[in-house]
Amino acid sequence: MGATPQPGCFFGEQVRIREVDGFFLSESVYTAGQSISRHSHSSPYLSILLQGSYRETCEAQTRHCEPSTVVFHPAGEAHADRFLADGGRIFRFEITNSRRMAASSGAAVLGSPFKFVGGPTAWLATRLYAEFKQTDWYSPLVMEGLVLEILGQAARDVSLPRGEQAPSWLRRVEELLHETMPDDLTLPKIAEVAGVHVVHLARVFRKFHGCTVGEYLRGLRIDLAMRELRFTEKPLAEVAGNAGFADQSHFCRTFKLSTGMTPGQYRKSFRRG
């Protein structure tokens, strides 16, 4: 196996690093084509890709990571990385006090790797990154709270019954939600497509997704807006309309509540290249 970096030390060029009680938070930049040989870390850590793309190979799988991809590495997980043509910029937090974390809501996820693309865990990581760049008196306390919230959200997501067979109608519902503008949807309409009672729809949907249909739809809208902010030059009003928001003002309020950044701040931080 390759090197085992010390806590708070990662490969690449470190832009900034901060230590909060029990955590190291850091931001690093990687050059196009940069390869990092097989290695592991003595402490678990979670990362979110801000810019660029990379492939990561570990024992169980190969992960392809684009902006807004969140990856959690348990302590000792061996992996190798290769950054693609745009290089990469990664923000991460490393949990150096695992004994303390063992008593937290995140204990359930500390032993297993996971990956999320977009969704609530990525939004919380984005909010943590926004706070990481603050320098006021309260930011360490806010960051500590967000770390625990991220671990709690991830624990909830990974505990969903992924191995259990979902009913076939749930796939039809998911496709409908991805293909139809939110204003054209109501729970009775969705239940009609599924061929089930609306109460049964709500119960089973929450069981397999950990949220209501409305919360799921809001997440789709935020994720769509994130993609357009990262990869296009469309004005905010157009991004808002494409994502199904009533107007730009509503979009900006909702986006900041979810991510901790205004759409303009997000676009600047997560631009490709």
CA 254 to each of CA 57, 196, 210, 222, 257: distance values in angstroms, whole numbers, following the listed order: 36, 31, 20, 8, 5
Per-residue pLDDT tens for 170-181?
999 988 888 877
Does 273 have pLDDT greater than 60? no
Per-residue pLDDT tens for 175-220?
888 887 766 788 899 999 899 999 999 999 988 888 889 888 888 8
Best CA proximity match to 173, nearest among 141, 135, 130, 203: 203
Per-residue pLDDT tens for 36-57?
999 888 888 999 999 999 999 9
Residue 18's beta-bridge partner residues?
25
Query: Residue by residue, what is the 3-state secondary structure of 2-49?
Result: CCCCCCCCCCCEEEEEEEECCEEEEEEEECCCCEEEEECCCCCEEEEE
- The encoded tokens of residue 176 equal 């409908």
Amino acid at 240: A
**What is residue 244's predicted lDDT score, i.e. its pLDDT?**
86
Q: Domains plus CATH for the chain?
A: 13-158 (2.60.120.280), 168-270 (1.10.10.60)
**What is residue 40's predicted lDDT score, i.e. its pLDDT?**
87
**What is residue 2's predicted lDDT score, i.e. its pLDDT?**
55
Label residue 8 by pLDDT band (50, 70, 90): low
Indicate if the alpha-carbon torsion angle 68, 55, 146, 211 is positive or negative: positive
**What is residue 140's predicted lDDT score, i.e. its pLDDT?**
85
Per-residue pLDDT tens for 58-100?
877 899 999 889 999 888 889 999 999 889 999 999 888 654 5
CB 202 within 8 A of CB 186: no
Phi, psi of 53 (to 5 degrees): -160, 155
**What is residue 270's predicted lDDT score, i.e. its pLDDT?**
78
Label residue 103 by pLDDT band (50, 70, 90): very low
Per-residue pLDDT tens for 222-266?
999 998 998 899 999 999 998 888 899 999 999 998 888 899 989
**What is residue 102's predicted lDDT score, i.e. its pLDDT?**
54
d(C-alpha 102, C-alpha 94), whole Å: 14
Best CA proximity match to 191, nearest among 179, 178, 177: 177
